Amino acid sequence: MAVRVDHAVVSGTFSLDGETFDVDNNIWVVGDDESCLVIDAPHDVDAILAVVGGRAVKAIVCTHAHDDHVRVAPELRERTGAPVLLHPDDRPLWELTHPDHLWDADLADGQSLTIGGASVSVLHTPGHAPGAVCLYVHDLGCVFTGDTLFQGGPGATGRSFSDADLIVESIRRQLFALPDATVVHTGHGDDTTLGEERETLGG
């Protein structure tokens, strides 16, 4: 399997509920030498395109619509011609950042995207955001969790549109159904594995 994961970190801000924070976001690109998917579009379109490295971008897949994950999605769409994909339950969050235009196509639980012969499964994991999704790549033994699961536990649920009970239920039902050895590529910070996080969270 020639499919691989490429990565960079970009800095910017996250704003919600009238507060703004400095944040570092992971950029994840999964694909082969010809084509790729970009997972989230934080802060800096040139930094994302540097990771893409001239490959054809097939889609810009948003794990959720907090502004630090979708800020440059429309610009990246313009530069690559790739559609922006988002779960429709995150519309209220998307509209806070991009009130004038929507994304291009909806993500749905159980949907399968294909890149370079690998299958990417969409898992709807509401809690951090109503339309949060994780993206599982069986062939690579990894899952991209956005802000749903970090090294050390679930993502934040203290702000609008979040639900603390729901995020734990989503993690248990959708993520802990996957193998313990699955590598977790998060929206912020270091990788972990599902086994480690299962031990931390219990379940």
| Residues in contact with Zn ion by the rule CB under 5 A | 66, 147
Shortest Å distance, C-beta 144 to Zn ion: 13
Q: Are strands 153-154 and 118-124 parallel, antiparallel or unpaired?
A: unpaired
Shortest Å distance, C-beta 137 to Zn ion: 21
- E-strand ranges in the chain read 4-16, 19-31, 35-39, 56-61, 84-86, 105-106, 112-115, 118-124, 133-137, 142-146, 149-150, 153-154, 183-186, 192-193
Shortest Å distance, C-beta 145 to Zn ion: 11
Of 55 and 66, which has the nearer Cβ to Zn ion?
A: 66
Q: Does residue 2 sit in helix, strand or coil?
A: coil
Shortest Å distance, C-beta 194 to Zn ion: 20
Of 66 and 124, which has the nearer Cβ to Zn ion?
A: 66
Of 44 and 147, which has the nearer Cβ to Zn ion?
A: 147
Of 186 and 192, which has the nearer Cβ to Zn ion?
A: 186
Contact between 132 and 107 (Cβ < 8 Å): no
